[in-house]
Amino acid sequence: MFTLRSAGRTAACTLALSCLSVAANARDYAFGELKITHPWTRPTPPSAPTAAGYLTIVNRGKSPDRLIGGSTPAAGKLEIHQMSMTGGVMSMRPVAGGLVIPAGGSVSLAPEGFHLMLIGPKHPFRPGEHIPVALTFEHAGTVKLNLEVEQPADTGGAMPGMAMPGGHMDMH
């Protein structure tokens, strides 16, 4: 799911100890007004058709920005997708017009919601590996970062029927 955080709550959050430790995380990136925290993806089995990338984008600026696309040398194609449940059927589709990051707010790409869809991984992703991606924003431009390949410790949030090899359903 995605979460929108108000500017007021973000300001209060910076005073909390838990947030300070997150800010010190080596996997956080800062690009101008944008901050990207904890970019990650799951290990994939050989010849997996897709992999999904997750991260949180924080916009500390006074105007909204928009994630409009991206690419990776590790897969044939990178798209920005949204997963949704309609009539009991899980489906996903590209986010039309890009993903808006509100001014003073944040958007999380996380399992069962928004995600980066890496289509046609060129090799199996192994735990501890770094998958380079370039993300293009309407205002911040193109930024480069690494998705860390992690095995999620807690799979309790997964939906029934979603526990597939590679942790992601194939819609392509």
CB of 80 to Cu ion, least distance (A): 9
Q: Which residue is nearest to Cu ion (CB)?
A: 81
CB-CB contact of 37 with 22 (8 Å) = yes
Q: How far apart are CA 123 and CA 134, in angstroms?
A: 18
Q: With respect to Cu ion, which residue has the nearer C-beta, 79 or 129?
A: 79
DSSP state of 15: T
Q: With respect to Cu ion, which residue has the nearer C-beta, 92 or 140?
A: 92
CB of 84 to Cu ion, least distance (A): 11
Q: With respect to Cu ion, which residue has the nearer C-beta, 105 or 116?
A: 116
Instruction: Centre a 10 Å sphere on the Cβ of residue 24 and count the other Cβ atoms it contains.
Output: 8
Of 9-17, 19-27, 37-45, 116-124, the window that binds Cu ion (rule: CB under 5 A) is 116-124
| Among the listed residues 34, 117, 118, 131, the single contact to Cu ion using CB under 5 A | 117
Closest to 135 measured CA to CA, from 109, 113, 110, 169: 109
CB of 21 to Cu ion, least distance (A): 31
Q: How far apart are CA 90 and CA 137, in angstroms?
A: 28
Q: Work out the widest C-alpha separation in the chain, in whole angstroms.
A: 45
Helix or strand (DSSP H, E) at 10: helix 7-13
Strands 114-121, 50-59: pairing is antiparallel
Closest to 94 measured CA to CA, from 102, 84, 86, 104: 84
Q: With respect to Cu ion, which residue has the nearer C-beta, 34 or 116?
A: 116
> How many residues at the interface with Cu ion, by CB under 5 A?
3
Of 34-42, 69-77, 117-125, 159-167, the window that binds Cu ion (rule: CB under 5 A) is 117-125
CB of 93 to Cu ion, least distance (A): 8
Q: With respect to Cu ion, which residue has the nearer C-beta, 99 or 117?
A: 117
Site for Cu ion in 45-104 (CB under 5 A): 81, 92
Binding site for Cu ion (CB under 5 A): 81, 92, 117
